[in-house]
Amino acid sequence: MDLPRRSTPQPPMRQLALQAFDLSERTARRGRQSARRSVHRWRQRAFLLAQCAVTAGAAWWVATALIGHPYPFFAAVAAILTIGLSYGERLKRAVQVALGVAVGVGVGELFLHIFGTGVIQVVVVCLASMSLATLLGAGRILTTQAGVQAIIVTTLPVAMVPSGFGRWVDAAVGCGLALLVAWIAPGSPVRKPLALAAEVTGDVASTLRAAAKALRSRDSDEAEAVLTRARSSEHALEQLDEAAAEGLAVVRSSPFRRLQREQAQSYAELAVPLDRLVRNLRVLARRAAVACWRGQVVPASYLRLMDEVAEVTEFMAEEMAAGRLPVAAKARLVVIADHSSHLPMAQTLSPVVILAQLRSMLADLLQVIGVDNATAREMIPDLD
């Protein structure tokens, strides 16, 4: 009788080489993923970065060429602080920056002429200006600017610092130009939420298809991958919320975009039902993973329903990517909802939860196209 062969242990150096290769592969993969995320983030912010740079340069030019200030550094700084990296509340930011400069410059000039400059003076002037701003009911931006400007006034060489009024004018130039840029902002911030909603909806559809595939093959590893994918959608929803707020801010502040207010509002309203849709998808993905792990059979009719929901979700994503609200999907959603009410009840928990989540997702999709919550529930009949 032959004895079983023992596996020959790998030499220590070979094991170390294999481990090093595996580590290098994982490091390289993570590096590529990080680089892609960085490039994607830069592309999203490229226009705003260009806005900040051009506005800062324009503010410097206006203050030097038209007003005659030799070193209008705060004109450029105020422009960047006002315009920021988002469109939200620019008017409020501009007012806060201007008030912060006024408080900081006033306190700084007073201390400079009476006490001169030095370590103690920096401590006192910073504390005094920020305290005064706080007593005036300032927010964080105003308070910070008061402290920063007071320190600049008391520490920069006198030749580089014009009078307090001149510095305030520089700030007004920067804030004014930033507001002008905000007013004439292009329509892309208004349309951006719809594009992001299309990405979220398309990802929901592809995740549903992946879940159906894992359930058909009963592959627990594939189902776990689907669950991980479903859980990774939080960042996309955060981006959608930010874009919706920015779109509304643009149409409220820009006189050139007032006619797009209703459109921006309808795009912003996509965020809530899409958030619910993704949450229901996560529950479905979790039960799909449990079903595969426990070897529970999901009825074929449930999987066909999953395919139908994925198909109509894909159509809605395509509509939104084309710049249209997906109202054309309503009839199809109603048909699928009616079909879901005639399916037999499974005997195990996970398939039942999957069916329930699919029906909840149909209600969410109906709300995406503008149906209110109560009506959406009524359009999904009770199970037979």
Residue 186 belongs to what H/E stretch? none
Spatial separation of the C-alpha atoms in residues 154 and 117, rounded to whole Å: 6
Q: What is the dihedral of CA 298, 335, 204, 383, to 10 degrees?
A: -40
Which three-class secondary structure state does DSSP give residue 275?
A: helix
> Which tokens sit at 112?
């400079």
- Residue 333 burial (C-beta neighbours within 10 Å; 0-12, 13-18, 19+): buried
Please count the other Cβ atoms lying within 10 Å of the Cβ belonging to residue 377.
Answer: 14
Residue 371, classed as helix, strand or coil, is: coil
- Asked whether the beta carbons of 178 and 83 are under 8 A apart, the reply is yes
Residuewise pLDDT in 10s, the chain (384 residues): 444 444 445 456 666 655 655 556 656 666 666 777 677 667 766 777 888 888 889 999 999 999 888 878 778 887 887 776 555 556 666 677 767 777 777 787 777 778 877 888 888 888 988 898 888 776 777 788 788 878 877 776 655 555 556 777 887 888 888 877 766 765 556 778 888 899 999 999 999 999 999 999 999 999 999 999 998 887 788 888 877 777 777 776 666 666 677 777 888 888 899 999 999 999 999 999 999 999 889 999 999 999 999 999 999 999 999 888 999 999 999 999 999 999 998 889 999 999 999 999 999 999 999 899 899 989 999 887
Q: CA–CA separation, 151 vs 125, rounded Å? A: 7
Which of 317, 353, 196 has the alpha carbon at shortest distance from 268?
196
Domains belonging to the chain, first-starting first, are 48-183 (no CATH), 188-378 (1.20.58.220)
pTM (global) more than 0.75: no
